[in-house]
Structure 1
Amino acid sequence: MPAPALQLLSVNIGQPTALTIGPDSAAPRTEITGIHKQAAVGRVRVARLGLEGDHVMDTKHHGGPGQAVYVYTQEDYDHWAEELGESLDPGTYGENLLMAGLESATVRVGERFWVGSAVLEATAARIPCMVLAARMNDLGFVKRFARVRRPGFYARVIQEGDVGQGDPVRREAAPDGAPSIVDTFDLWFSQSRDPDEMRRYLNYPLAERLRTDIEEWLGAVRA
């Protein structure tokens, strides 16, 4: 049976919105975040640092060339509908692009996607944080997201262009031996990271933040 055709279902952009985070070790706090995404109408420009009109507020952990676009998939949302007992609207997890026809577990670092006139390259898994937990109104959601292992993926923009709902998506395989997106996700939560595997990962086009994290983890091993 042929694989389902890949298609762009939704293009989502976020405006700065106040969100209450916590409780944690301190009192609950209010942050301005761009996680609340809404479907855009018409075509949207994808530039080197992300989608035109989209706002990234936490630039320490999000955005930048290696995490310019966040992609999630309908297949992963379908799993969450079963897990949560309710369907979720596009943009709920803060994704810029919602695609159909693949699952994030099958994507590898360095894999490329032609969408509209833009070309994207997968670089890393999305790591959940308390902003996502607050968005879902579930303080335990970080652990839940980690357990399910359907993280979606960040991408760098290889070729700027414009995208729109309904665009077909063409997929190009990653370089041989490239780690999967889920490999990079599991690495973050692992209590026993393999130094040889981490060194191997550095041979591939990782997001800059992930590359820095791996180099720091390797430095701690050598220390």
Structure 2
Amino acid sequence: MSEHFTGAVVLSTNISPVGPGQPRTGIHKTPHESIEVFEPGPHYGAGSGVRGDLVGNSKHHGGAQKAVYAYSREELDHWAQALGRELPNGYFGENLTTQGIDLERLLINQQLAIGEALLEVSIPRSPCRTFAVHMDERGWVRRFTEHGRCGIYLRVIEPGTIRPGDQIELIGRPGHEVDMLTTFAAAMGDDAASERVVAAACLPEMYHQRHVDRLAARAPRA
């Protein structure tokens, strides 16, 4: 089973090149004519799933669950209007700037065929100090969190090349109803959202266990 969204495309493919003179953070991404995605090692230190893309903080970024990051042009436009400044494609550190698809309403583990690659919705982004410094906006982490639209991290199921203009096709459907919007809320401390995430058992074990442990710690003692 597959599903096409009319107009759902990759608008821009972006990387932060690895090399002398480049910033030490991978958030400074600029458009390139294509990207090649692959499955890195399982852990954060394994690097990006986009060939030639810098991961500055290997303690918290990279690895199979954070192989590729996607953010929508629609959300960039929202923030451009709210902040009164231009936000070019790639500015939020995304490898894929998309158009015509509500990324945060995609279900966890939904598969996406894009170009030559097959990707799978993985885990939410957690806004960090690097992101805040990059944006240079007062209270940025709080504002981004409250808006609730975090983009999506993707794992790579089948490697391949992705180019601007490639259509985005949904393949199959996970056996639950937990979307990225709910999962981000859970990651940011919403207990009701965490309960839904735990009940669906849709996250990788490490992330699933974080919610189990947090809910257990907050449960009233008998």
TM-score surpassing 0.5? yes
**2:10 counterpart residue number:** 8
**Secondary structure at 2:154's aligned position in 1?**
strand
* SS of residue matched to 1:55: coil
Any stretches of 5+ residues in structure 1 without a counterpart?
19-31
2:101 equivalent in structure 1: 102
Secondary structure of 1:33 counterpart: coil
Residue 39 of structure 2 is matched in structure 1 by: 48
> Secondary structure of the equivalent of 1:156?
strand
Q: Residues 110 and 178 of structure 1 are in contact (CA less than 8 Å); yes or no, is this contact kept in structure 2?
A: no
What aligned pairs does 1:26-105 form with structure 2 within 5 A after superposition? 32-41=24-33, 43-49=34-40, 50-105=49-104
**TM-superposed deviation, 1:86:** 2.7
Deviation at 1:77, TM superposition (A): 1.4
Q: 1:213 aligns with which of 183, 205, 210?
A: 210
State percent identity of aligned pairs. Answer: 32
Deviations 1:4-57 (A, max 9, x none): 321111111113654xxxxxxxxxxxxx3111001112x321111211110112
The number of equivalent residue pairs is 206
Counterparts of 1:170-209 in structure 2 under 5 Å?
Answer: 170-190=169-189, 192-193=191-192, 196-202=195-201, 204=202, 206-207=203-204
Instruction: Classify 1:101/1:219 alpha carbon distance in 2 versus 1 (closer, same or farther; 3 Å).
Output: same
TM-score by length of 1: 0.82
SS at match of 1:6: strand
Please say which of residues 112-121 and 187-196 is displaced more in the overlay: 187-196
Q: Normalising by the residue count of structure 2, what TM-score does the alignment of the two structures yield?
A: 0.83
Counterpart residue identity of residue 211, structure 2? I
CA RMSD for the aligned pairs?
A: 2.3
